[in-house]
Structure 1
Amino acid sequence: MCPKHVRPLVTAPAGTSVLALLLAESPLSRVELARRTGLSSTAVTKAARPLIDDGYLHELPPERTAPGAGRPVNPLAVTVDREFFVGIKISADALFGVVCDLRAGMRVTAGRRLGEDRGPEAVCGLLCELVEELLGADRAFRERTRRLGIAVSGDVDRRAGRVRYSVLPGWRDVPLAGMAAAATGLSVTVENDVKALTAAEHWFGEGIGTEYFALVTIGAGIGSGLVVDGRLIAGAHGVAGEMGHVSIDPAGPRCHCGQIGCVEAIASSDAILASVRGATGRTDLDFDLAVELARDGNPAAVEAFARAGRAIGKGIAILVNLIGPERVVVTGEGLETYDLLGAHIQDSYAAHCFKAAANCPLTLRPLPWEEWARGAAVLGIQALLP
């Protein structure tokens, strides 16, 4: 298949501002759009016209106004089914896929278990099958889908479309965007999974309306994504905001990244399990049994979770001290053990925040794997803008 090379839908700053705001908060009147973007009403109308003509926006029936208040206003809204977007989340043992509309509404979901071969070629083959299944769910999906977003853990070079390092599938320097584009015929964006989830939460979730926002994931890994001045931050080398690999204990365990005492080396599910096994001498334990021990009051298991909670809280405090977000969302499969971690996270967070920074609330938000795939689809939606 020949991949589709898709240009941004809008290129002018005015069009970008209007479309971005409507994607997040549609419908809005032209007056409100002008107020929120700082544009004149004339500029808003001019920016919206080609998007209306191309079917991406439409006018709603006029709203009633008070007598003498002037002409009724026609709010502008996004035409959500004008274009669709596929999102795929690559996890350690499965692929999760969704088709989303223009405002990130999930229309259909599907998945694939990974086989024994976790190499890039094998995974890309399954990914292509999953995309075909998703697009085959509705004729409109196949006709109106041009973009595919892929989310994967680790060090991802979004501009180059390469996975530089991912511990879960065990990949190094994989040109995933090119491989997936050739296999599916779609325009492909590849991003770190936590950054993709952060983008979705900022545009369509808990972060709507914030200029400074952070998301932290706890579980098999410890990840984070940052929004500064309204933009997702990747940094000069694409790894900005890697809270999980902040070293907080020089006497701590070695992390898979090579450093000593990273938050992830102390607080990931595997790290907690290793700590419980080492303290109890029970090498037969799996994570679920370690959780049971902690809930039954086993001192070694309780302390392993407490230590993990303190590490997470300290890591979040470092993030908050550095960028000052308005809100931090905490999510990930680790929320299932928040009864063992939560008090320690909150106490450590409060202890290490600098003064007023502690006013930033931590919001718990359980998100299933399909939401991570939705985050990947949001990468395609964001590609509408330069």
Structure 2
Amino acid sequence: MNQTEPRTEGGTYRRLVVIAATHAINDGAGMALIPLIPLLVSEFRLDTVQVGLLTATTSLAAAVLQMPASLVADHTGRRRTLLAAGLFLIALCYALYGIASGYAMLLALGLLLGIAGCAYHPSAMAIVAEQFSRARKGFFLSVHAAGANLGMALIPFVVGWSAHQWGWRVALGLMVVPTVLVAVLTLLSFREQRSTQVSLRGSLADVRSQVLRNPRLLVLGAVAGAHGAAYAGILPFLPLFLQQTYGWGTDALGLGQFILSGTGFLAQPLIGHLADRVGRLRVMALATLLVAILTALIPTLRIEWLVYPIFACLGVALFGIWPLMAATVTDFADRETISSAVGLNFTVGTLCSALAPPLSGALIMATSLSIGLYWGPALFLVALGFVLILMTLTRNRNRFSTAVGYPG
């Protein structure tokens, strides 16, 4: 047993709740502005490119710093400290949004939010992979991923409803308290891992040989990149489409995000169980195809009563993909470079997520809002192509069949 692993089953589940809560706060913070976009557009007179840049700055900061943060996590073993520091910084961002007086400050806070989250996924997934039972890693990673969906469901819903009642600045300020609470629980619930015994140069050599030269990890990075660009490229503009097409306000938009992420939260453990039985990559391919179809339906059908059911189905398929990618990455990676392998995957994903919103915003300006939303389904089909390539690589490498759950 790892020295940091809990001694009792109850201790395991208490710590699992805490690590899932950190994921809820971290990923929910990235969704907090989504139901507020119509208000920000009105107050600061933003165009679609500027809206895209609001989310792009966060993703860009995370993309640039994620690999260095991953290397620090692997080399020092101070993953708990990195997690807690990021959460405290998110709380500071929430507080500063309350005094934001212009678009430049919104961009600066988006940048700070990206810095706050840059170390989260590499550190947290390494903690789950190493400090919980490895025999049940798929289950624990699914619960951890479900925490993200819970945050992405509840935080936009609470922020959207609060903004409807008291204004968007107060709504964001209210999020300081739960964020600080979870940061403190993180410090109390986990111990630091022992630092690596090799030099920094040795750690860099391990990353180069074990991560950057691993073809399966590189293809998984391409899947994450296409997936991230597809999702991030349409996410900021869905609220504008729903507002302009159906007249939705912040409360209705928050409810839509709640349904989208909430169904993902409920379905992720079931999808993880299904993937263990029939193969992770098969489930990933099917889910990606379904996401492409559903995202194409939103601007095509334009039937208001179908939006919430489409969001519910979309949440199941869309968020079911993420823990499958995470589990596959940790299976392919060596123990000494887990954080760096996860960091590579999220670096590619967040970099593409950063580039996508301004590019799709420019496409919308050149065409129309409804046409620009087809950016999403097109890139989800690209992601599907990479998944099929990965399935071929896996089929040809029988020694990796068990690791990825593909029934050889």
Common fold, TM-score beyond 0.5?
Answer: no
Greater per-residue strand proportion: 1
TM-score normalized with structure 1 length: 0.26
Q: Larger relative contact order (C-alpha < 8 A, sep ≥ 6)?
A: 2
Greater per-residue helix proportion: 2
TM-score normalized with structure 2 length: 0.25
Larger Rg: 1
